Amino acid sequence: MSTIVDASHGLGKRVRAERTRRGWSLSELAEASGVSRAMISKVERGEASPTATVLGKLSAAFELSVSSLLEPAAPLPGEGSGPRRDADVPAWTDPDTGYLRRQVSTPMFPADVTEVLLPAGARVPYPAAAYAFIAQLLWVLDGELTLTDGPDTHVLAAGDTFELGAPLPRVFANETTAGCRYVAVVTRRAEP
């Protein structure tokens, strides 16, 4: 599997563009997200790659999916003009855990389809607010995923699926000694 297109490359520009589009100062984004001004500034300048938790908090503040926040500003090669080759699929890696997200769908597709590789022993928490505006389905392809969904814990094996419900704090964990690979399909919830 190739991961040549680094989705974190334009992440700082995307965060700054979203903040500017809303007319928010660094302090306002820090307050809305719970992420420090210093970290947001480093991310925007490309001096730091956020962890999955920080990325989840920023996406929640912007009311965007994590995948939407990681989308490059410009179309990638092959988008909308035929097959999208493996080498053109953007990827982002959590600097703390090695958790890898590969954005399979393009921004033109009506759902975010993301392949996730969760290394052995990795644990990735996301705040409930990261799920407030989205509906999500998980499909485990290989290995075992332990999902803490609010107060409940579910162990999902290869072939298992899980539709996430109401926004809850969630932890995606791989408590085994082998890698876990799953697909996350995300859509925006219907507006009331």
Per-residue confidence at 72, pLDDT binned at 50, 70, 90? low
| Token pair 């969760």 in the structure block, residue | 118
CA-based R_g, the chain, Å: 16
What does the pLDDT look like over 150-166, one tens digit per residue?
A: 999 999 999 999 999 99
pTM over 0.85: no
Per-residue confidence at 9, pLDDT binned at 50, 70, 90? low
Rounded alpha-carbon distances, angstroms, from residue 63 to 158, 163, 167, 173, 188: 31, 20, 13, 24, 10
Per-residue confidence at 81, pLDDT binned at 50, 70, 90? low
Let me know the angle formed at the C-alpha of 134 by 142 and 32, rounded to the nearest 5 degrees: 115
Rounded alpha-carbon distances, angstroms, from residue 95 to 28, 55, 159, 162, 166: 25, 11, 28, 27, 28
**CA 176 centroid distance within chain:** 22
> Residue 96 class from Cβ within 10 Å (0-12 exposed, 13-18 middle, 19+ buried)?
middle
Return the number of other C-beta atoms located less than 10 Å from residue 88's C-beta: 15
Q: For residue 96, which of 68, 125, 60 has the smallest C-alpha distance?
A: 125
Mean pLDDT confidence for 28-53: 88
Domain 1-192: which CATH number of 2.60.120.10, 2.40.30.40, 3.30.1360.70, 2.50.20.10: 2.60.120.10
If you average pLDDT over every residue of the chain, what do you get?
Answer: 84
- In the chain, what is the straight-line distance between the N-terminal and C-terminal CA atoms, in Å? 40
For residue 64, pLDDT over 90 is answered with no
